[in-house]
Structure formats: structure tokens, C-alpha cells
Structure 1
Amino acid sequence: MQTLDFNRLQETLYHEELPNGLQVFILPKKGFSKTYVSFTTKYGSIDNTFVPLGKKEKVRVPDGIAHFLEHKMFEKEDGDVFQKFGMNGASANAFTSFTRTAYLFSATENLYPNTELLLDFVQAPYFTEQTVEKEKGIIGQEITMYDDQPDWRAYFGAIENLYESHPVKIDIAGTVESIADITADHLYECYHTFYHPSNMLVFAVGAVDPEEMMEFIRTNQAAKTFDRPERIVREFPQEPANAAVAERSIEMDVSKPKVQFAVKLPYPDLSGIDALKHELSNEILLDLLFGRTSDFYTEAYEEGLIDESFGTEFTSETGFAFAVIGTDSKDPDKFAEKVRATLRSASEKFPFGQDALDRQLRRRTGLFLRALNSIEYIANQFTRYAFNGMNLFDTVPALEDLQVKDLQDALVPLADEQAWSVFEVLPASKGE
């Protein structure tokens, strides 16, 4: 078992790659009574075209299947797994993102029975055509619910505008039409391809003994048989640098328009500290340009162009990256134009020096150190960083290594006008 000491953070991370390829990370936290354990596969909604395990030809599976599979994993022949966690005093959950599917529990007791339950249910798929058909109605209702949420429609509408054909533009849950085509055979094919231990990661944080937990997981995995690991062949379409659609709007039952200004960014083929620096540079740049201490924010708020819903987001996952700046606004067109003007002005003359960066670095370092007191935060973030070739605990060194030039470099693609797009949700027109 490998020990990774982060002395400045007073954290020690334990890591081992098991013979079946499973990566196991354990972070003991003194003074905590709760433990989080997650079991995550590097498989998300964008993985809809791939070569199945043991085959040579690629397949295209229905959109939304990763999310559908996540739902079905909890249903077994002998009952619902959620109930079993509850009987063990644990709170269980799961989620599917663009690039990963995670199963997790938190508990203050019965750590090893719950860990065994987590490992065993994720590694024992059970699908029938009858249960698959039943689930279509349940997930169909979930999709319809999200379709009726203006904030969700605004966010995904902006992403749809950016991409011509990359599956990131498709809602994670798919559509009612796409999930209608899912079969039990589809689920097994996806499961056996992406749920191999060599494509997965276990992370435990909190009140846990690393030696005992690692030995428990070793024993659990050694008792099981898996196919020989194979490299997963995924296929994604080539995307142009420009946004697919410059402007688009829909009408919904909202009292105030919603607007999302989105920027399609190039994916950086980086790892380690360099990948962390790239992510932090973009987040800090967005904060300096549009955050609560910026001239933009002060002016836009005084003009009534933004309200408490205003926010920025930078997303960078394997194969794609984008930024979104959004708000509810009485004048969405004027808001979008103000964002454009801010980016153009910064591109013409970079407005931030070392003092502005230093303030951000102190603030970000403080926020990160406080966040490490939350095992919920660590549990939710660690795997995302790991699957993107980064280590969450390298954040402080990466912050300290940032230079003003890193922000200037981040501005170049952000200020590319061909990569800009605006999506608006407008109040529905009232008929006579």
C-alpha cells in the first residue's frame, strides 16, 4: 500500500491498485465519526459510442443509458438495495454526470457491512426486460420534470448551443424517446464494458482505519472473478472551435427572463499540477471578470441586469470544456452585450496584475483549507479530480504556482467571439 503524505495539509492518503485493476484510495480523518465510501466508474452520459468488451466493432447505444443503468443497479432479485443500507444505519445515494457514475454511502456505524454491500451490489448486475420496461416510466417522469424546470432548460440549452454533435449536448438522462429503446441486453453490454474494476475507483474518507479498510477491500475483491482488463475504446466526434449556434431562445412559464452566456473552450490535454493550474486559472479569471468584487458585477447589479441568481461556472472534463455566465435578467440582451463588452475590453488590455491575483490566491487557499474540514466535500470532489488526472490535495501547490500569464493565457479562448453563444428562456407569450 502506497502512502502519500501532504504535510502542509496534515493529510495522509493511502493508495493501492489491486490485481484486478481497481484503484483504492483511503483518507482517514481524525475527530470525525462519519465515514463516506464511494465506488465510481469512469462512465457517464457522453459514452454512447464505444467498442463493447470482447468485440471489435463499435456500437451506438441509446442516449441516457448510463443514468438508466445507475437506477437499475439498486434493484436486485431479492429486493431494493436502498432498504438494505437503511437497515444498516447508512444513507446511500448515486449520481451520473457527463463522465462518471458514482455509488456512495455515509454511515457512523456498520462501516464494513455497508462497504461489503456497496462493493457487492455494484459488482452484481441484475436486469430483466420486465424491470427495464417498468423503469422507463419512472425515468420518463424524471425527464419530464426536468424539462419543466426553466433553470435546467437554460443551462442545458446553452450547452446545446455550443456543440454540433458531441454527446455533452445531450441531457444526461436522455429523452423519453431515447430511453424507450433501452433493453436489458444494452444494459449488460454497457455494464460489462465500463464496470470492470480496472475502470473504477473506491474512495473512503472519515472515521476509517486505512490498513483494516484496505485489507477488507482486498479480501472482498480476491473472492470474485473478473474478465481480463481491456482498454476501453470510446469514440467522440470532432468538434470545430466555434459555437454551433450563436443565439437561441425558448418560451416558458417564467416571470423574469433567464439568460446564459456560454463559451466553447478547447480541451487541454494536461494532467497533474498543469491540469489543476489550468482549471484554477479559468475559475479565477471568471471571478475577477464577473465575480462580486468586479466592476461588471457592480455595474450590472445597479442597472438591474443581474440578481441573486447570477453565477459563473467553468467545466473541464475529458474531451470538452466550456464556461457559462448566467442570471435572471429584466433585459437579457443587454446583459449578454455587457458580458461581450467585458471580454472584449479585457482582451484589448488585460486589466489584472499581481495584486489582484494575490488576493484571489489568498482567498482560494483559505476556502480550500476550510473545505477540507468537510468529508462531504472531499468525497464528492476526489474522484472527479482523479479521473481527470489530478490530485485534489495538490490544489495549494497549484495555486502557489499560478502567474498572471496563466490568466492571460486563459483569456485567449474565452475572448474568442466565434466560441460565444447566448441562450434565453423568455416569458411565454400570452394569447388573447
Structure 2
Amino acid sequence: MEELVYQQLNEKIYQETMDNGLQVFLLAKPEMAKTFGIFSTNYGSIDQTFTPIGKSDKVTVPEGIAHFLEHKLFEKEDRDVFQDFTKLGASANAFTSFTKTAYLFSATSQIEKNIETLVNFVQDPYFSEKSVEKEKGIIAQEIRMYDDQPDWRAFFGTIQSLYHEHPVKVDIAGTVDSIQNITKDDLYTCYETFYHPSNMSLFIAGNIDPEAIMKQVRENQAGKSFPQAPEINRSYPEEPAAVAEKESSITMPVTTAKCMVGVKENVLDLSGKELIRAELLSDMILDFYFSKSGAFYEELYKNDLIDDSFQYETELDRQFGFTILGGDSRKPDKLAKRVKEMLHELKTKSIPEEDFTRMKRKKIGQFMRALNSLEFIANQFVHYHNLGFDLFDVLPEIESLTTKDAEEYLQHWIKEETISVFQVKPQGNE
């Protein structure tokens, strides 16, 4: 068991790679009453085309299968695993993202039993044709529910307008039609390929004894048999640099239009560290100009182009990246025009040293506050680990950023061909 010491943050991670390839990370927080565990696989909704373990030819599985698989792992032949956690006094959940599927629990007691339950149920799949067919109806209902949510449609509509071919443009849950094609065999193919321990990590944070927990996990994994670790061969379509659609819209029963401006990010040439630096700079710049105290936000608000729903986010990951700004607007066309102008104006901005110092201080403050959350630490540690980076190296990375870094980033960030506008318009206003 290796100790990773971060003196600046006064944190210590205990790390060990099991014989089967599973990477285990433990963070002791004796001052905490709660313990949080997350067992995740480096596999998400964008991993639709790959070479199955033991095969030589690529396959393309139905859209939404990673999310479908997440649902099905909780259902065993004789029980629902959620009940197992409830009996142990724990709260359990799971989620699927574009690049990750994670299973998690939080509890204040019976921690070792909860860890055993978490690891065992994920590593013991049970799928039957009958249960798969039943699940299709449940997930179809979930998809329809999200299809009725204007904010969700605006978010995914923007991504779809940015991307031509890449599977990031597909809703994580898939479509009502696509999930009908999922079979029991498809689920086992995906499970056997992506749920091998060598493609997974276990992170436990809280009031724990690292030595005892690591010993428990070590013995648990030693008692199970897995095939030799596969080299996962994923395949993604070639994606043009330019957006798929400059402007697009849908109509829904909303009283106020929603207008989103999307920026397609070029991430394919970025390493893990470069990706993190780009994400940090993007977050800091957007916060400086478009937060409620920012100059651009104030102008948009005074001109009645936005309301309090206005927001922004950047997501950079392996294979894809995007920035989205927008919200409700009574003047969506004017909002789109002005936000695009503002983004282009950023290329000409010279950031005063004192302003950049404030930007860094604010980002450091936000990061340090977030470290009070076990959930944040666990989720973000796994996220950064999958990108080849370390969460606890984010602080020195922020501190190392300079005004020159920000200005150089702005010079290459915004291009007209990488901007798209998506609107959700009130019905009858076509």
C-alpha cells in the first residue's frame, strides 16, 4: 500500500493496485461522521463502438446501453440491491455520464459491510431476457420524462448542434427506439469488456481505518476470478472542427424562450495536464466576465436580454469538449448575437494583473471549499484520475497560472466556425 502525501493540503491518500488491476484509493477523514464510497468504471455513453474482449472485430451497441447496464446491475435474480444497502443503514445511488459509470453509497455505520456490498454487487452481474424487457419500459418512461424538460432539451440540443458524428451528441439514456434493441447478450458484452477490474477504481473517503479497509478489499478481490486484463479498443468517428449547425431550434410549451450559445472545444491534442489547465482557465474567464458581478453579465441584464436563469459551464473530457452559455430570454435572437460578439471580444481583452490575481484567489477559494465535501473529493478524484491527472494537484496548477496563460488561451479559444446557437421557442412563435 502506497501513501500519497499532499503537504500543501494536509491530505494523504492510500493507494494500491490489486493483482487483477483494480485501483483502490482511500482517504481517511476521522473528523467526519460519514463515509462515502464510489466504485466506478472508465466507461460511459460515448463508448458505443469497441472490440469486445476475446474478439477481433468491432461492434456498435445500441445508444443508451451504458445507462441501461447501470440500472440492471442493481437487479439480481432474487432481490433489489438497494434493499441490501437500506438494511445496512446506507444510502446508495449510481450515475452514468459521457465517460464514466459509477456506483456509490454513503453511511455512518457498518462501513465494511457496505463496502463489501458495493463491490460484490457490481462484480456479480445478472441479466435475463425477461428482466431486460421489463427495464425497457422503465427507462423509456425516464427518457420521455426528460424529453418534457425544456432545460434538458436545451442542453442536449446545444450539444447536438455542435457535433456532427461524435456519440456525445446522443442523450446518455439513449432514445425510446434505441433501447428497444438492447439484448441480454449486449449487456454481457459491454459488462465483460468494460467492467474488468483493470478498467475500474474504488475510492473510499471518511472515518475509516485505511489498513483494515485495504486488507478487506485485497482479500475480497483475491477470492474472485477474472480473465486476463484486456486492452480495451474503443473507436470514435472522425469529427470535423466546425459545428454541425450554426443555428437550430425546437418549440415546446414554454412561456419564455431559452437561448443557448455553445462553443465546440478542441481537446484531441491536449494531454491530461493541458486539459485541466484549459478547463481551469475557461472556468475562471467565464466567471470573471459572465458571473453576476461580471461586466458582460451586467450589460446583458441591464438590456433585458437575460434573467437570473443565465448560466454557463465548460466540460472538457477525453474525445470531446464544450462550453455552453445561456438561459431564459424574452429577446433570444438579440441575446445570441450579443453573447457571440462578447465571446469574440475576449480575444482582444488584456487582463490587468490585479484582476487575474482576484480570479485566481476566487478559484482557489472555490476549490478549497469544495474539498469539505467527501462526495466532491471522491467523484472528482476519479474523474481526474481517468484523465491522467491528480485532483490534489489542481491547487498548485491554479497557483501556477499567469496572466500570459489566460491571454494566450483567449487568443485561440473562440472561432466563428466553432460557435452554435440553440433555442427552445414557445409554441406558436415559429
The TM-score bracket by the shorter chain reads over 0.9
Equivalents in 2 of 1:263, 1:274: separation in Å? 18
Equivalents in 2 of 1:305, 1:140: separation in Å? 36
Partner of 1:182: 182
Q: How does 1:1-12 map to 2 (within 5 A)?
A: 1-12=1-12
Partner of 1:318: 318
C-alpha deviation, 1:419, in angstroms: 0.4
Whether contact under 8 Å (2:50, 2:234) holds in the other structure is: yes
Whether contact under 8 Å (1:273, 1:394) holds in the other structure is: no
Equivalents in 1 of 2:90, 2:99: separation in Å? 26
Partner of 1:39: 39
Cα deviation digits, residues 35-61 of structure 1 (max 9, x gap): 001100000000000000000000010
Q: Tell me whether 1:197 sits opposite 2:203 in the alignment.
A: no
The residue matched to 1:234 in structure 2 has which SS?
Answer: strand
Whether contact under 8 Å (2:22, 2:202) holds in the other structure is: yes
Give the AA of the match of 2:338.
Answer: K
Q: Tell me whether 1:80 sits opposite 2:61 in the alignment.
A: no
1:331–1:313 CA distance, 2 compared to 1 (3 A): same
Equivalents in 2 of 1:364, 1:165: separation in Å? 34
C-alpha deviation, 1:372, in angstroms: 1.1
Whether contact under 8 Å (2:248, 2:421) holds in the other structure is: yes
The residue matched to 2:263 in structure 1 has which SS?
Answer: strand
The residue matched to 2:394 in structure 1 has which SS?
Answer: helix
Partner of 1:396: 395
Partner of 1:333: 333
Equivalents in 2 of 1:324, 1:219: separation in Å? 46
Partner of 1:386: 385
C-alpha deviation, 1:430, in angstroms: 7.7
Taking structure 1 as the reference length, the TM-score comes to 0.97
Q: How does 1:259-408 map to 2 (within 5 A)?
A: 259-271=259-271, 273-347=273-347, 349-408=348-407
Whether contact under 8 Å (2:50, 2:235) holds in the other structure is: yes
The residue matched to 2:8 in structure 1 has which SS?
Answer: helix
Give the AA of the match of 1:402.
Answer: L
1:272–1:421 CA distance, 2 compared to 1 (3 A): closer
Equivalents in 1 of 2:64, 2:272: separation in Å? 31
Give the AA of the match of 2:166.
Answer: H
The residue matched to 2:338 in structure 1 has which SS?
Answer: helix
C-alpha deviation, 1:175, in angstroms: 0.3
- With 397-406 and 103-112 compared, the bigger mean Cα shift is at 397-406
Whether contact under 8 Å (1:6, 1:12) holds in the other structure is: yes
Partner of 1:59: 59
C-alpha deviation, 1:33, in angstroms: 1.0
Partner of 1:248: 248
Give the AA of the match of 1:304.
Answer: D
Give the AA of the match of 2:58.
Answer: K
Q: How does 1:143-222 map to 2 (within 5 A)?
A: 143-222=143-222
C-alpha deviation, 1:209, in angstroms: 1.1
C-alpha deviation, 1:125, in angstroms: 0.5
The residue matched to 2:27 in structure 1 has which SS?
Answer: strand
Partner of 1:223: 223
The residue matched to 1:75 in structure 2 has which SS?
Answer: coil
- With 270-279 and 338-347 compared, the bigger mean Cα shift is at 270-279
Give the AA of the match of 1:199.
Answer: N
Equivalents in 2 of 1:360, 1:430: separation in Å? 41
Equivalents in 2 of 1:269, 1:229: separation in Å? 28
Partner of 1:139: 139
The residue matched to 2:261 in structure 1 has which SS?
Answer: strand
Whether contact under 8 Å (1:268, 1:275) holds in the other structure is: no
Equivalents in 1 of 2:227, 2:359: separation in Å? 48
C-alpha deviation, 1:282, in angstroms: 1.4
Equivalents in 2 of 1:313, 1:87: separation in Å? 38
Equivalents in 2 of 1:294, 1:257: separation in Å? 23
Q: Tell me whether 1:236 sits opposite 2:245 in the alignment.
A: no
C-alpha deviation, 1:246, in angstroms: 0.3
Whether contact under 8 Å (2:307, 2:329) holds in the other structure is: yes
The residue matched to 1:38 in structure 2 has which SS?
Answer: strand
Aligned length: 430
Partner of 1:125: 125
Equivalents in 2 of 1:274, 1:422: separation in Å? 27
Cα deviation digits, residues 284-329 of structure 1 (max 9, x gap): 1222232222211001111111111111100011111111001111
Give the AA of the match of 2:349.
Answer: F
Unaligned segments of structure 1, at least 5 residues: none
Equivalents in 2 of 1:271, 1:30: separation in Å? 35
Whether contact under 8 Å (2:350, 2:407) holds in the other structure is: no
Equivalents in 2 of 1:70, 1:410: separation in Å? 38
Whether contact under 8 Å (2:275, 2:316) holds in the other structure is: no
Whether contact under 8 Å (2:261, 2:336) holds in the other structure is: yes
Whether contact under 8 Å (2:267, 2:275) holds in the other structure is: no
C-alpha deviation, 1:273, in angstroms: 4.0
The percentage of aligned residue pairs carrying the same residue is: 52
The residue matched to 1:314 in structure 2 has which SS?
Answer: strand
Taking structure 2 as the reference length, the TM-score comes to 0.98
C-alpha deviation, 1:355, in angstroms: 1.5
Equivalents in 1 of 2:344, 2:219: separation in Å? 58
The residue matched to 1:76 in structure 2 has which SS?
Answer: coil
Unaligned segments of structure 2, at least 5 residues: none
Give the AA of the match of 1:11.
Answer: E
Whether contact under 8 Å (1:251, 1:425) holds in the other structure is: yes
Give the AA of the match of 1:154.
Answer: A
Cα deviation digits, residues 186-227 of structure 1 (max 9, x gap): 000000000000000000011111111111100000000001
